[in-house]
Structure 1
């Protein structure tokens, strides 16, 4: 299962990401729309780093992810920090919360992992079903049709206790980005355990994304280059979408 082994290294690989800035950016979007938000669900929340800032700022907070390994870490860290967060192991294509929320967010290309357009539509429907009236859905999607290398790329992350080798390809015809990860984890002196995972993401056109959203009852409130208020263009690597439930 994706991220079951990488979960152990995920926080280390993602260090340097300013999750507080992510939340501040979303708050600026909400303020720009003159909206009010008291509760939020963080979809594809992983180990919880993107979820914790919401709880620290006083929001009623939920986190949803399919990876048991990732959620285990999220729960442990939330307890350590004394944060009250409801974490749920559910598929974001059909998740159900115990109560509707004012805001749903999904960042760091969590929705790109949905490989079929119908699956993306189902995820949008689930979000709609779990939002209060006039609630907001703010998310990002990788968008790399012009700049992703067409040939195989190899990268290596090497640390004292592990080595990760990434082989990535992009199929323009299928619009699929694929990464094969081979890892070597040090278990004791001069001994390493090997594991292998495969990750795949689909690149969606903005027109396709908005078609699904508007069909389901969302209004378009904004489309931006990630973490700015500038409009996206053909070379934009990551796009932020802002929808509101009618």
Structure 2
């Protein structure tokens, strides 16, 4: 996942992303939890859209991302809104130095970029190390149904005056695995267009795999929801986005 050239276009390309819904579901879940959450890590924060929304609501936020370019835009966004957010450039598989957090959140396909069980185990171990006892870990992933029925072997395109894109989604060798081949054409002041390409690799696993790896790291699933709904019946066969709510077991 490169994002170097894509960073300056990311917010425009993601203009319809449900950032408010991610922020709202976070607040609702935390309100229902047994802890008084204040300190939150946004794992894979990108340009800080969700991070700053939660900071504006009074949470003490840390945003972590692998892309320096993304963090630059995130920092600018926070500065413009006069929000105090700590931004950290780290790979989520190799995070270090962050502890005593009340909650960790990771949305918008971030966990889908962790494509092996071994690396997913590392990420969950890092999350557990960040959290206080009874701290919450909330994340979402594409469902296997959504990958198999709505994404792989599909072509998506957007055409606007200043930027156009073509996105091919091809299957990998394993169920839930996919490769995104994206091409962008961006206009310049002289009316010419420049092209750049991105190649992304994602994978989603079964609920059972996520449960197993979470439990191996002392994280117990409290709830699983579907498509931004907190209703018990929200998870069904054709759910597109699955939300996991896990709690760090007490070590005392």
Q: Considering the TM-score relative to the shorter chain, is it more than 0.5?
A: yes
Q: Please give the secondary structure, in 1, of the residue aligned with 2:200.
A: strand
Residue equivalent to 2:74: 74
Please tell me whether the aligned partners of residues 218 and 243 of structure 1 are also in contact (alpha carbons under 8 angstroms).
yes
Residue equivalent to 2:19: 19
**Distance in 2 (alpha carbons) for counterparts of 1:19 and 1:42:** 13
Residue equivalent to 2:34: 34
The reply to whether residue 239 of structure 1 matches residue 242 of structure 2 is yes
Residue equivalent to 1:119: 119
Q: How many residues align?
A: 246
Residue equivalent to 1:227: 228
Q: Please give the secondary structure, in 2, of the residue aligned with 1:173.
A: coil
Q: Please give the secondary structure, in 1, of the residue aligned with 2:41.
A: strand
Please tell me whether the aligned partners of residues 152 and 178 of structure 2 are also in contact (alpha carbons under 8 angstroms).
no
Q: TM-score, normalised by structure 1?
A: 0.93
**Distance in 2 (alpha carbons) for counterparts of 1:98 and 1:173:** 34
Q: Please give the secondary structure, in 2, of the residue aligned with 1:193.
A: strand
Please tell me whether the aligned partners of residues 138 and 243 of structure 1 are also in contact (alpha carbons under 8 angstroms).
yes
**Distance in 1 (alpha carbons) for counterparts of 2:17 and 2:75:** 20
Please tell me whether the aligned partners of residues 2 and 197 of structure 1 are also in contact (alpha carbons under 8 angstroms).
yes
Residue equivalent to 1:190: 191
Please tell me whether the aligned partners of residues 52 and 83 of structure 2 are also in contact (alpha carbons under 8 angstroms).
yes
Q: Please give the secondary structure, in 2, of the residue aligned with 1:182.
A: strand
**Distance in 2 (alpha carbons) for counterparts of 1:175 and 1:151:** 9
Q: Please give the secondary structure, in 2, of the residue aligned with 1:179.
A: strand
Question: For structure 2, which runs of at least 5 residues remain unmatched after alignment?
Answer: none
Deviations 1:129-150 (A, max 9, x none): 0111110000001113364358
The reply to whether residue 8 of structure 1 matches residue 28 of structure 2 is no
Please tell me whether the aligned partners of residues 65 and 90 of structure 1 are also in contact (alpha carbons under 8 angstroms).
yes
**Distance in 2 (alpha carbons) for counterparts of 1:90 and 1:135:** 21
1:232 Cα offset (Å): 1.9
Q: 1:99 to 1:128 in 2, by over 3 A?
A: closer
Question: For structure 1, which runs of at least 5 residues remain unmatched after alignment?
Answer: none
**What's the RMSD between the two structures over aligned residues?**
1.8
The reply to whether residue 130 of structure 1 matches residue 130 of structure 2 is yes
| Correspondences of 1:16-165 after superposition (within 5 Å) | 16-145=16-145, 147-148=148-149, 152-165=153-166
**Distance in 2 (alpha carbons) for counterparts of 1:241 and 1:95:** 21
Please tell me whether the aligned partners of residues 23 and 54 of structure 2 are also in contact (alpha carbons under 8 angstroms).
yes
Q: Please give the secondary structure, in 2, of the residue aligned with 1:148.
A: helix
Please tell me whether the aligned partners of residues 148 and 170 of structure 1 are also in contact (alpha carbons under 8 angstroms).
no
Please tell me whether the aligned partners of residues 144 and 235 of structure 1 are also in contact (alpha carbons under 8 angstroms).
no
Residue equivalent to 2:204: 203
**Distance in 2 (alpha carbons) for counterparts of 1:99 and 1:154:** 42
